[in-house]
Amino acid sequence: AQSVTQPDIHITVSEGASLELRCNYSYGATPYLFWYVQSPGQGLQLLLKYFSGDTLVQGIKGFEAEFKRSQSSFNLRKPSVHWSDAAEYFCAVDPPRNQFYFGTGTSLTVIP
Amino acid sequence: NAGVTQTPKFQVLKTGQSMTLQCAQDMNHEYMSWYRQDPGMGLRLIHYSVGAGITDQGEVPNGYNVSRSTTEDFPLRLLSAAPSQTSVYFCASSPGTVYYNEQFFGPGTRLTVL
């Protein structure tokens, strides 16, 4: 069965510090991979996606993610975090059948 | 474009009551889906549709019905609400079903079942 693991339930970083959110998936082949962000009380917004090709993908708001096939990982990074980045972040995979499987999310707190 | 819209934003039901959560999109997307979001569990797929007249079950379909009579609308029905259905419900749509596509999410409906 497909699964998505986000091992960090909650992360706290200082503003200006770098950030890495981890995501591992379990699937026989390479799925389509996504990172979404959810601000409190809001819907989900797509940050970036990986389908094929270059394993380092750039997204909105200065985020990037790197796909590592050997580790079945798709970690999200940002070099310098801003207070407005505080939110919940979800990794998702599409096997692909347009049936998304989401991780349990990582809550990010940014301290001044 | 309004994107994906959901109504109502909030709803409180008593156990056993029925209701329909509405979802509409104005982007002519083929694919639509319903998720529920529960603390510590991420989003889980309830039902999805690959086009008008075609629906299928997702990961957690029990207690929910759907239909897709038009491309634009994909309502989710709770026939007899239970406290376990207290959750935040998100509708999403995607341009196609054959090629990889991101999903666009609505703002959500927060449902409480007493």
Which residues of chain B lie closer than 8 angstroms to A36, CB-CB? 105
pLDDT tens for B65-96 read 999 999 999 999 999 999 999 999 999 998 87
pLDDT of residue A31: 81
Instruction: Confirm if A33 and A22 have CB atoms less than 8 A apart.
Output: no
Q: How far apart, in whole angstroms, are the C-alpha atoms of residue B83 and residue B15?
A: 7
Query: Is any Cβ of chain A less than 8 angstroms from the Cβ of B41?
Result: yes
Alpha carbons A111 and B56: distance in angstroms, whole number: 44
Q: What value, to the nearest 5°, has the Cα angle with vertex A57 and ends A42 and A94?
A: 60
Handedness of CA A32, A1, B77, B52 (dihedral sign): positive
pLDDT of residue B96: 72
Sign of CA dihedral A44, B103, A76, B38: positive
CB atoms B108 and A43 under 8 Å: yes
Residue A35, Cβ density class (10 Å: 0-12 exposed, 13-18 middle, ≥19 buried)? buried
- The whole-angstrom separation of Cα A44 and Cα A29 is 26
The per-residue pLDDT for A66 is 96
pLDDT tens digit string along B11-68?
Answer: 999 999 999 999 999 999 999 999 999 988 889 999 999 899 999 999 899 999 999 9
Cα four-point dihedral sign B34, A73, A59, B39: positive
Q: Does A32 touch chain B (CB under 8 A)?
A: yes
Which residues lie below 8 Å from residue A21, measured CB to CB, with a gap of 6+? A6, A8, A11, A35, A75, A76, A77, A89, A91, A106, A108
B90 and A43 within 8 Å at the Cβ level: the answer is yes
Instruction: Supply the pLDDT for residue B99.
Output: 57
Cβ contacts from A onto B, under 8 A: 58
Q: B58 is written with which tokens?
A: 């997702």
The partner residue sitting opposite B42, judged by closest CB among A49, A99, A105, is: A105
- Chunked in runs of 10, what are the mean pLDDT values of chain A (112 residues)? 88 97 87 91 90 90 94 96 96 78 94 93
Would the CB atoms of A103 and B42 count as touching at under 8 Å?
A: yes
